[in-house]
Structure 1
């Protein structure tokens, strides 16, 4: 017997009542987190998880086991990993792409073309990671399988360029251009490598010329020192064929140095020497440094300038040039030699017992007949030079 319209409507209301109220449909999405739950369905996943828990996500684990079924042939498995790597590559996830291509190569399938592509693609991923040597190794491996594989040749040329192997870059480009003379990337790479190679060769020639000039100046400096009978300290004069550790390294301008004060002996264009000179004031623990003391200058000339105004540490105002005395110490013998203030630097350096230490002549400055001077020289042998 057919139901009336009223009965049918009542039945529909009863059915809908089941979905009203607090009770939810079993397996329904949560109103608050439905997007996250939706993304957990394998078919709708935007990004596959790096690790799969079969208990938490059995559906995805099932699909993954189907994809990588060990019953598949090595070729099929390698191809699957290749496609997976390509997807990662498109997403610019180059680390995962490298892993996928590596897994594909581990299958050791017999498909030469597929293995070539896996090596070439992995080379590209390694290249974008900045692993140029690894990328080059893959390009070489791809060419072993397929010598005329243009992508492998192009990738290898780019790796050589990044590694600054400019001659090898040009060689790889030439090999690729024999296959395709119009390959734009190879033409650009060859041009760039040729330009960089010329620049490198020019810089190398300039560096060699600079080295030759510096060596020539070192030899001239050493000859000038030896001709003047100036002696380096024994520890620094073992090898008289080069400027040794006793003298600072020589450069073209004669100014730069590895020591703290940044000055050193220099042979000027007139054949004269200028030295960095250190004055020590033991009574006050003070020093003065002259960066370029001309060898023909007298000590008194510098003292007059240095003490034109008395230094703040000279409270007693006794450091007057005419009242100052100069000395140097012979460390080997433990003796002290006095130098007249009218003496030139060259005359002092030519004394038979003066040895220049660390490239910097050093002199003591004391006040004549001061109590400190008498105590300082007590028990020491002092020589007075004429």
Structure 2
């Protein structure tokens, strides 16, 4: 009885195994005749693998649920708003730390900011988020924002050493040297051997002393220049030389340097009116050639020197821009403009600089006399003087 009952059972098992074998054979035969659609391609397998969340090297900036449903699902699990704020804030902190390690400081700042927005009740976690964001902002060059985060962290924990270190460094970079020294001193009271604070304090103290020394030097120079300017102004008054008032954007107490805004003004930087031991003036002077847009700069034109003496030296060899070779010293005419009256005054080359400056219609601008030079009888001269009243100096 038992033998007869066992025979059909073994027959049914063999039949089932044969059926499963046939199904497997059919499944394998299917792949012999057609390729698996979900396979990775030989040439693009790395890019395809990078689209799978488990193998992604870097998550996309924005996740589209339709394009990346698996990744969107993982994100919803990680940043579940139903979780406690502390857990969410910690998740954002860890994410920010990963971005920070990869030197993606912008995304690190964004993650730490999201963590702070959760307003968790753990002050230690909030301090970490603030100090970490301060470090990321520092690397982005946002020193003021980094300092604000360090200060906010210290409001929560006044003795937080990392916040003190980062705040001290920010003060140093912002050139708040006294504040940097103060923050370092507060940190060193907590840890007298903290290397970063010791280095920062030494550098801040050195720069602070240098800045204070520069301020003292600047004040001494300012007083000296003011005295010198007073001497020069009295010399101008004694000679009846008129100095044009400063432009609205200029400070009338500026030193008598040469910031002339005309052609070639870069050559005049640092030049200034000087008074020699015999009480005679020398002026930085511009000679303008409007026909060619060129300029000559005489750094120290002695008031008793004649224009022709300078022209003889300057045009001993004709300049390369004088293609027509016509700028010979004795073929040149000198003028100065009276812009208020649209008039020009011709100056004799035989006259001295002082004689020209003493004319009642001459006003020295920016402490730098300027004169126009034209070629006699040239077409440009004729066109240039057309419509202007010309006066000859006696």
In the alignment, structure 2 segments of 5+ residues that lack a partner are: 1-6, 12-16
Q: How does 1:163-202 map to 2 (within 5 A)?
A: 163-202=174-213
Q: What is the CA-CA distance between 1:128 and the residue it aligns to?
A: 1.3
User: Is it true that 1:266 corresponds to 2:270 in the alignment?
Assistant: no
Q: What is the CA-CA distance between 1:310 and the residue it aligns to?
A: 10
C-alpha RMSD of the superposition: 4.7
CA distance in 2, matches of 1:18, 1:110: 58
Q: Specify the SS of the correspondent of 1:169.
A: helix
CA distance in 2, matches of 1:339, 1:197: 54
Q: Specify the SS of the correspondent of 2:61.
A: coil
Give the direction of change, closer, same or farther, for the CA distance of 1:86–1:260 in structure 2 (3 Å limit). same
CA distance in 2, matches of 1:287, 1:145: 65
The partner residue of 1:116 within 127, 139, 144 is 127
User: Is it true that 1:73 corresponds to 2:101 in the alignment?
Assistant: no
Contact kept in structure 1, 2:288 and 2:370, CA below 8 Å: no
Q: What is the CA-CA distance between 1:51 and the residue it aligns to?
A: 2.2
CA distance in 2, matches of 1:186, 1:339: 68
Give the direction of change, closer, same or farther, for the CA distance of 1:335–1:75 in structure 2 (3 Å limit). closer
CA distance in 1, matches of 2:145, 2:283: 54
The partner residue of 1:294 within 289, 292, 302 is 302
Q: What is the CA-CA distance between 1:160 and the residue it aligns to?
A: 1.1
Normalising to structure 2: TM-score of the pair? 0.71
Q: Specify the SS of the correspondent of 2:63.
A: coil
CA distance in 2, matches of 1:91, 1:310: 64
Normalising to structure 1: TM-score of the pair? 0.72
Give the direction of change, closer, same or farther, for the CA distance of 1:76–1:384 in structure 2 (3 Å limit). closer
CA distance in 1, matches of 2:246, 2:40: 88
Give the direction of change, closer, same or farther, for the CA distance of 1:137–1:354 in structure 2 (3 Å limit). closer
CA distance in 2, matches of 1:169, 1:227: 53
Give the direction of change, closer, same or farther, for the CA distance of 1:201–1:337 in structure 2 (3 Å limit). closer
Contact kept in structure 1, 2:281 and 2:302, CA below 8 Å: yes
Q: What is the CA-CA distance between 1:153 and the residue it aligns to?
A: 0.9
Give the direction of change, closer, same or farther, for the CA distance of 1:362–1:88 in structure 2 (3 Å limit). closer
The partner residue of 2:63 within 49, 52, 67 is 52
CA distance in 1, matches of 2:49, 2:295: 81
Q: How does 1:1-386 map to 2 (within 5 A)?
A: 15=24, 18-19=27-28, 21-25=32-36, 27-232=38-243, 236=244, 250-251=256-257, 257-260=260-263, 262=267, 266-270=273-277, 271-275=279-283, 291=298, 292-297=300-305, 319=330, 344-347=352-355, 349-350=357-358, 353=360, 355-358=362-365, 359-360=368-369, 362=371, 385=394
CA distance in 1, matches of 2:362, 2:189: 69
CA distance in 2, matches of 1:110, 1:79: 12
Give the direction of change, closer, same or farther, for the CA distance of 1:184–1:344 in structure 2 (3 Å limit). closer
CA distance in 2, matches of 1:205, 1:142: 37
Q: Tell me what 2:4 maps to.
A: none
Comparing 190-199 and 44-53, the one that deviates more:
44-53
Comparing 265-274 and 64-73, the one that deviates more:
265-274
Give the direction of change, closer, same or farther, for the CA distance of 1:174–1:49 in structure 2 (3 Å limit). same
Q: Write the deviation string for residues 197-236 of structure 1: whole angstroms up to 9, x where unpaired.
A: 122222222333333333322222111111223334xxx2
Contact kept in structure 1, 2:92 and 2:115, CA below 8 Å: yes
CA distance in 1, matches of 2:202, 2:100: 28
Higher helix share: 2
Give the direction of change, closer, same or farther, for the CA distance of 1:15–1:102 in structure 2 (3 Å limit). same
Contact kept in structure 2, 1:277 and 1:290, CA below 8 Å: yes
Alignment length (residue pairs): 360
Q: What is the CA-CA distance between 1:169 and the residue it aligns to?
A: 0.8
Comparing 31-40 and 217-226, the one that deviates more:
31-40
Give the direction of change, closer, same or farther, for the CA distance of 1:17–1:134 in structure 2 (3 Å limit). same
Q: Write the deviation string for residues 146-203 of structure 1: whole angstroms up to 9, x where unpaired.
A: 1111111111111111111111111111111111111111111111111111222222
